[in-house]
Structure 1
């Protein structure tokens, strides 16, 4: 029976389009078209139309990139581009048959590189797609920052200019063709060919908008109604067509994208379903690695982290009860995460302090503590002691990380572990009985908003609750499995419930 409910849960999250929450993830908002509603509405053309701008005629070099979660990657869908309907100028980025499908057009050629490898599942994944072009005629495609396809356009030459609008969400030559359904985020257009390492460098964080060679940048974070803002240097703002369609929403994004603080970190790494076969793992050589409890098709979960590029040890910003034996790594890691899951943490002390004096490597598990703080000018708090410590490596298991800074400390004195605080309280929320018949009870310490979804992702109940114990009448719902989301200002709680 448990296996059956896991399958139903997977089906539910395949269809649910977005997370309804007062709290945005680090990724902000996204452009989202719900496939089922779009189909029921008669396939309306939902897209962004930006006016012609000379800077969008990219000439001899470009880099196009976007995060997206498609209803399916098996169909031929166009994501964004600029071209005319005679197919002799312009460019368009898209996908087909589980491969990137980027096309460049001029009167002499029309070429499409197809990768034979790479990791592109059919559905339920966030992927980062990028395509680059240079003056030598090389057109290269990337999936999740890794090269998957290349072709040489001959004769090489610049992409012919046009005065067509820049279109997001469907074929730029036809407002009713090849429409994209799903989520889009962090859409970027550059007038330079970026290398593989340059694409990887910024794919997990938002931009400032004034980067060199940036032409257009749509992160959708400030968008509302039909206005679509270009956060890049040219402010090529667009208009959302059919913005009143029930199939569309500016939804909270669950793409693995860090915030502006993450953009200041080094060696940014991430774990999310869609990364590849080992999506649970985020392994680095900088002293900090993670094993994450993200399961198959849990696309709404991610974790991103990077460090401050420091080395050595210090006793600064010690916990309030620390004594002279306390020391910590100078290197600290900033984390952005979404979806509420646990991770196993691995600190390699030597790798965290290359060519520098480091903290004691011969302690027991009780000597090593996980330290956290919200800002770099705060004192640290202890949130856990190591489960295992050996040969200069400290292991912490079943840790629920948050959008904070973390590092490893050492102390011969036993330090007080930080108790449950307001930011953590939803870990202790109680919803019962389960299975239930007509009523459930919600017990929580602080006010929350409760939303109940059926397995098709439709909201069937929503209510703001005060602290304490509240009875909820679900007698109007049919028998079956439902998902309950409870959210406060700081955290989201998810739970399955069976009505019998």
Structure 2
């Protein structure tokens, strides 16, 4: 049994970043140390360094470059000058832009360019907000492939463009966005004219930092990679959120922009230098890219776990929406920013990150069963931040059964910290909720209890707003293992959370980490799907779904006859008996489409005709 009063946490080793005031006699020295430390760590140390000095080595994604879209660029001191220079090629980059076009003479914003009319160019069409991949072969045939997905939403996106000697593909965030078969009739790329390259600008240069096209990129770029091989989708995904060494097979350039200062950047593979234009030398910034030393991933999964021996395990459980992909990455070094959030006395020397593609929310669970770090597990907490360019904040995790749980997440980084010990009068060994037939059974076990009045079982649809479903009396005082159970005979359809609240005789209480269940109703599902107007003469299309069970989830997708989705929305019945979805067809082409409603049990389709 732990004591209720606050106690100082115990460090088992010295690997954590640990700040604590010393005795009164040392107060002055401590104040001076902290002032100097903060100045050196978090204040710009020269005019061109990005905010947040990464002192002693680059952590996580390091730095990125921000381009103004007017005259910023990086000139690469390398050229191509051989006809058929590339039998295959893969280009990758992390991109963050809000460019809408219309403000520049040319609305192409080059990511990396060796003259798309002579070799290749990966660029953003600013008006459309879409990525394009332009290539030219040895017979001077030009092919321009445009992605279907927009990326000008102010979020970081991973772009990959591949030519495998026959076909071209563009991937956005690890998913295929566009492709073309037999793009160059099997020919290699490159006309043989000499062309030097640029990042953030279009090239027509036959000399270093020579003629340009005014194809200025607007936004931020990081981790630009050029390969002279065709990488498969699985290979792209495997390093999407993972740093490279620079020695990977087939890697030609690797610009990770981790210099963070002055006007030169260097490729980490062959040492090719890039000279920043005059104004761009002030464009260094702490990168917000999702990047670690090692990572793991799953696509089209609702739950995924990544564990590292001695470091614990991170589980991402999707609670809202349908994810396109889940990446979990690990950074084996202290973060760039070690400012301590309120309520946290130290931070661990490594951290985790989560990148979930798609409009989703998830619950983050950190299992510290095999944690071998520096902080006493009795006071473990989690801090969080949106990305490596932000400050840490207390995550206020729910704790139980050697787990820390934070619901309603959308994508962030997490670090273990040493919090204040505020201990309630029970030791919870386990808590679980499982579906049995038409019921949900909630079981939990305590190893000791002190002044324990009763337990409250609460249920939630979203992991945020909870309602009481029942109570169970506590044992008062006990030093023995005790097991409890409660049955919910009217569970919610679909996914829901159950959590335990313990209340003392004096009215004080504590919440424990929730358990997630997925309950499928046993009644036969019969939905009615209607689409109006049909045909639509560019009018708003209303899709109505009737017959869903209260709380039931479904997805509405409108697609062309080739299977390309032009609209997607997740819905949930809230007890009204019908759900209506409105689709704006103004940006769609005329033709025949299918509207499909998918539930865990069935799929329902209707054809709709769109006329312009």
Whether 1:100 aligns to 2:131 is yes
Match of 1:429 in 2: none
Partner SS for 1:205: coil
Distance 2:80 2:189 in 1: 15
Match of 1:124 in 2: 154
Per the TM alignment, residue 52 of structure 1 is displaced from its structure 2 partner at its CA by: 2.0
Distance 2:261 2:201 in 1: 20
Contact 1:373/1:404 (8 A) holds in 2: no
Partner SS for 1:284: strand
Per the TM alignment, residue 156 of structure 1 is displaced from its structure 2 partner at its CA by: 2.1
Match of 1:49 in 2: 76
Give ranges in structure 1 of 5+ residues lacking alignment.
1-17, 36-42, 271-277, 295-301, 309-332, 348-367, 415-500
Per the TM alignment, residue 123 of structure 1 is displaced from its structure 2 partner at its CA by: 2.6
Alpha-carbon spacing, 1:397–1:153, altered in 2? closer, same or farther (3 Å): closer
Alpha-carbon spacing, 1:240–1:115, altered in 2? closer, same or farther (3 Å): closer
Match of 1:290 in 2: 316
Q: When the two structures are aligned, how many residues end up with a matched partner?
A: 306
Per the TM alignment, residue 197 of structure 1 is displaced from its structure 2 partner at its CA by: 0.9
Partner SS for 2:236: helix
Larger helix share, 1 or 2? 1
Contact 2:60/2:331 (8 A) holds in 1: no
Contact 1:141/1:147 (8 A) holds in 2: yes
Contact 1:337/1:403 (8 A) holds in 2: no
Contact 2:260/2:285 (8 A) holds in 1: no
Whether 1:171 aligns to 2:202 is yes
Out of 175, 178, 187, the position equivalent to 1:149 is 178
Contact 1:73/1:95 (8 A) holds in 2: no
Whether 1:216 aligns to 2:240 is no
Contact 2:96/2:152 (8 A) holds in 1: no
Distance 1:25 1:164 in 2: 34
Distance 2:289 2:134 in 1: 25
Contact 2:63/2:257 (8 A) holds in 1: yes
Match of 1:483 in 2: none
Per the TM alignment, residue 288 of structure 1 is displaced from its structure 2 partner at its CA by: 4.3
Out of 88, 99, 109, the position equivalent to 2:141 is 109
Higher relative contact order (CA 8 A, sep 6+): 1
Match of 1:452 in 2: none
Out of 252, 271, 274, the position equivalent to 1:238 is 274
Alpha-carbon spacing, 1:231–1:31, altered in 2? closer, same or farther (3 Å): same
Per the TM alignment, residue 223 of structure 1 is displaced from its structure 2 partner at its CA by: 4.9
Give ranges in structure 2 of 5+ residues lacking alignment.
1-48, 102-106, 205-210, 307-312, 321-325, 333-349, 356-360, 382-396, 418-427, 431-445, 449-612
Per the TM alignment, residue 61 of structure 1 is displaced from its structure 2 partner at its CA by: 0.3
Match of 2:115 in 1: 83
Match of 1:329 in 2: none
Contact 2:130/2:152 (8 A) holds in 1: no
Which shifted more, 51-60 or 170-179? 51-60
Out of 21, 26, 32, the position equivalent to 2:52 is 21
Match of 2:230 in 1: 193
Per the TM alignment, residue 291 of structure 1 is displaced from its structure 2 partner at its CA by: 6.3
Alpha-carbon spacing, 1:283–1:55, altered in 2? closer, same or farther (3 Å): farther
- Once the two structures are superposed, the pairs formed by residues 396-411 of structure 1 within 5 Å of their partners are 396-397=405-406, 402-403=414-415
Distance 1:78 1:218 in 2: 15
Distance 1:30 1:171 in 2: 20
Alpha-carbon spacing, 1:54–1:224, altered in 2? closer, same or farther (3 Å): farther
- Once the two structures are superposed, the pairs formed by residues 418-433 of structure 1 within 5 Å of their partners are none
Per the TM alignment, residue 343 of structure 1 is displaced from its structure 2 partner at its CA by: 7.9
Distance 1:238 1:68 in 2: 18
Contact 1:370/1:386 (8 A) holds in 2: no
Distance 1:81 1:56 in 2: 17
Contact 2:202/2:216 (8 A) holds in 1: yes
Alpha-carbon spacing, 1:63–1:401, altered in 2? closer, same or farther (3 Å): closer
Distance 2:177 2:86 in 1: 23
Contact 1:80/1:170 (8 A) holds in 2: yes
Per the TM alignment, residue 235 of structure 1 is displaced from its structure 2 partner at its CA by: 1.3
Distance 1:245 1:49 in 2: 14
Distance 2:413 2:146 in 1: 39
Match of 1:67 in 2: 94
Per the TM alignment, residue 58 of structure 1 is displaced from its structure 2 partner at its CA by: 4.8
Larger strand share, 1 or 2? 2
Distance 1:292 1:252 in 2: 29
- Once the two structures are superposed, the pairs formed by residues 467-478 of structure 1 within 5 Å of their partners are none
